[in-house]
């Protein structure tokens, strides 16, 4: 009897590391007053897309997928987040575009139409 409990405890201990628990919190996005546009140019192309599992559809929201942010020295992964839908607008995801002097950042956001 004792060995069965020990086997059960061992099985639970071994398999407990196999499950990943991920808590998604609402993120409040502060939008500072735009005083001027600062263009971000990176000297090298970004890595492949940020790998993340897109959550199931959530009524009233749009999933803004993750992207790579340039911090002045290297690319840093920014994970996706929920954006509240805006009637009459559609969401454009942020992206990097090649240019004559490097890779240019195009921020995402809501576009009328």
CA atoms within 13 A on the CB side of 13: 6
**Cα–Cα distance list, 98 to 7, 66, 74, 95 (Å):** 58, 19, 16, 10
Would you say residue 70 has pLDDT above 80?
yes
Token digits of residue 46: 């970004």
Q: What is the separation of C-alpha 56 from the centre of its chain, rounded to a whole number of angstroms?
A: 15
Tally Cβ neighbours within 10 Å of residue 42.
20
Q: What is the pTM of this model?
A: 0.61
For 8-66, what is each residue's pLDDT tens digit? 565 555 554 544 444 444 333 334 435 566 789 999 999 988 889 989 999 999 999 99
Q: Domain boundaries in the chain?
A: 40-113
Structure confidence at residue 51 (pLDDT): 87
- Structure confidence at residue 93 as a pLDDT band (50, 70, 90): very high
């Amino acid at each position: 009897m004792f060995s069965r409990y020990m086997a059960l405890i061992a099985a639970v201990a071994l398999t407990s590391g196999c499950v990943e628990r991920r808590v998604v919190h609402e993120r409040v996005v502060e939008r500072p007053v735009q005083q001027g546009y600062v263009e971000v140019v990176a000297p090298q192309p970004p890595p492949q897309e940020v790998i993340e599992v897109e959550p199931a559809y959530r009524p009233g929201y749009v999933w803004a997928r993750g992207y790579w942010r340039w911090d002045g020295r290297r690319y840093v992964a920014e994970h996706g987040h929920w954006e509240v839908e805006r009637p009459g607008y559609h969401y454009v995801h942020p992206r990097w575009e090649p240019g004559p002097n490097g890779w240019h950042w195009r921020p995402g956001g809501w576009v009328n139409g």
